[in-house]
Amino acid sequence: MSGSSRRKSPRERLFYGGCLLAVVGVFYASSSLGPSSQGDAALIGAIGFLLLAGTLLSELVEVLGLPHLTGYLLAGVFAGPHVLNMIDTVTVRRLAPVNTLALALIALAGGAELRLDQLKQGVRSLLVATGIHSTVGLLLGGATFLAVRSFIPFARDMSLGAASAVALLWGVLAVSRSPSATLGILAQTRARGPLATFALAFVMSSDVVVILLMALGMMVAKPLLEPGSALSFSAFHSLGHEVLGSISIGTTLGLLLAIYLRLIGRQLIVVLVALGFGASEVLEFLRFDPLLTFLVAGFVVQNLSKQGDKFLGAIEDMGAIVYVVFFASAGADLDVPLLVELWPVALFLSLTRALATFGGARASSWLARDDAKLKAWSWAPLIAQAGLTQGLAGLVEREFPSFGVPFRALVIATLAINAVVGPILFKIALDRSNETRSATPLPEGDEATA
């Protein structure tokens, strides 16, 4: 995935700052002083503003060494309904189709970035890390929730059995990562190396692990939360249908894309848009996982054909624009008042999760005998959380209405912290590992102790 590595001059930065002030001023004046705009006009205006403001702010935060993704998020937060209210809640929700397209492109690009030869070289590290992180994150995340449940209103009066069930579900969510943030950072930095390869492979494969753990967790939690109900394996039946079906459809779709790229190869942007919108809706209707399906499709194109580079190039041509709107709208959707209300508990849970991730990474790197870069920095790309975590929290809300709403609120509060901090840490790790185009080489031997 591409990104510009040319350093901007102070004059260019000043120009970007002036443009940002002008864009914000015009849009703020039109949204607050002008007649209220609804429907398609408001949606088009919001997309245009998020694209401009996110791009300009990303260039300014780069001066501080922050990733472009942070600029996109901040642009959305300030423009959203909880700060300047230039984009209202209804318009934010209407941006969902753009997010659907972005997630499809993210999954396709993620699969296409996974090259079989690189995966074979790091398969031991990947397997060990998956086992360690899943175990440590689940146990420590759940134990932390139990330890602080007296500070959580909806959990403090629960019996120990019920609280343990909720803690189990919380521990599962602590294991989830963010493919979108990982690919967003790699798109900007154009990073290549062991850390970038490990991060991409681990984060993409962890989605399947988390979905399996959630099915198991809900099966165990149900009898504890609802006395009299028995263990049910129906969740695993549905999960098997979802996972196997997604892999099968993804493989077929990947082969069809490879044939199209070889025989026709034109109007790829139209094809990607059709997949992002149309195929996603069909997959959701059939109860398959679009993220897993597109991930497999991209992997098949890259590794079972010679069309991988051409396919990635087509995604990059339209991905840069879509990603800006995707992350900016995610920032606009962050519930800032909720974060202010729950920040002490959310911050403690986030810090504990980060410590579990750091400890798990050190342990797995030692067991797998990883190289110095992975030993030092393999934890950094695993802090961020995003859409999958929120989706699983929504599933818990639907399945357990007695506590689901406040549970999801606490998840969103911690997710907000991890979504902002995680990408910053990942970019720092890539820079210090000398895997980005703009990184300054460290003296030999320093990278292991950085």
Tokens of 212: 């399996």
Name every residue whose Cβ is closer than 8 Å to that of residue 272 and which is 6 or more positions away in sequence: 104, 105, 108, 314, 315, 318
Same domain, 114 and 193: yes
CA 180 – CA 182 distance, rounded (Å): 5
Look at residue 169 in the predicted model and tell me its pLDDT: 93
Contacts of 132 (CB under 8 A, 6+ apart): 360, 363, 364, 367
pLDDT tens track for 63-80: 887 888 888 888 888 888
Q: Looking at residue 235, which CATH number applies to its domain? A: 1.20.1530.20
Let me know if residue 119 belongs to a domain.
yes
Q: Shortest CA distance to 300 belongs to which of 263, 254, 262, 257? A: 254
Helices 404-432 and 336-368 meet at what angle, rounded to 10? Answer: 50
160 and 176 co-located in one domain:
yes
Residue 443 lies in a domain: no
Structure tokens at 215: 């099915």
| Domain-ending residue, one of 95, 115, 142 | 95
Count up the domains in the chain and report the number: 2
Per residue of the chain (450 residues), what is the pLDDT tens digit? 444 445 677 788 888 889 989 988 888 887 776 555 566 777 888 888 888 998 899 888 888 878 888 888 888 888 888 888 888 888 888 887 777 887 788 778 878 877 887 777 778 888 999 999 999 999 999 999 999 998 888 888 888 889 999 999 999 999 988 887 888 888 778 888 889 888 988 887 787 788 788 878 888 888 888 776 655 666 566 667 777 888 899 999 999 999 988 888 777 888 888 888 888 888 878 878 787 788 889 889 988 888 888 888 888 777 677 778 888 888 887 777 877 888 889 999 999 999 999 999 999 999 988 888 889 999 999 999 876 787 788 778 888 888 888 888 888 889 888 988 999 999 999 999 998 865 444 444 444 333
> Residues 77, 200: one domain?
no
Same domain, 48 and 86: yes
19 shares its domain with 122:
no
Q: How many CA atoms lie within 13 A of 388 on its CB side?
A: 29
Is 187 among the domain residues?
yes
Is the domain of 45 the same as that of 137? no
Q: Do 153 and 287 reside in the same domain of the chain?
A: yes
What is the per-residue pLDDT across 267-310, written as a single tens digit (0 to 9) for each? 788 888 888 888 888 887 887 878 778 888 988 998 888 888 88
CB distance 292 to 204 below 8 Å: no
Flag whether 2 is in a domain.
no
Beta strands in 101-154 (DSSP E): none
Residue 254, domain member (yes or no): yes
Query: Same domain, yes or no, for 124 and 165?
Result: yes
Task: Tell me, yes or no, whether 83 and 231 share the same domain.
Answer: no
Residue pair 130/119 in contact by the 8 Å Cβ criterion? no
Which of the listed residues 56, 79, 95 is the one where a domain comes to its end?
95
| Boundary (domain end) residue, out of 95, 122, 156 | 95
**pLDDT given for residue 439 in this prediction:** 46
The pTM of this model reads 0.79
Do 78 and 138 belong together in one domain?
no
User: Same domain, yes or no, for 310 and 176?
Assistant: yes
The reported pLDDT for the residue numbered 237 is 67
Residues 130 and 257 in one domain: yes
pLDDT for position 447: 41
CA–CA dist 365, 194 (Å, integer): 12
> What is the structure's pLDDT at 356?
93
Per the domain annotation, does 202 fall within a domain?
A: yes
Residue 444 lies in a domain: no
Range of the domain at 159: 99-318+335-432
Residue 5 lies in a domain: no
Exposed/middle/buried for residue 449 (C-beta within 10 Å: 0-12, 13-18, 19+): exposed
User: In the prediction, which pLDDT does 6 show?
Assistant: 57
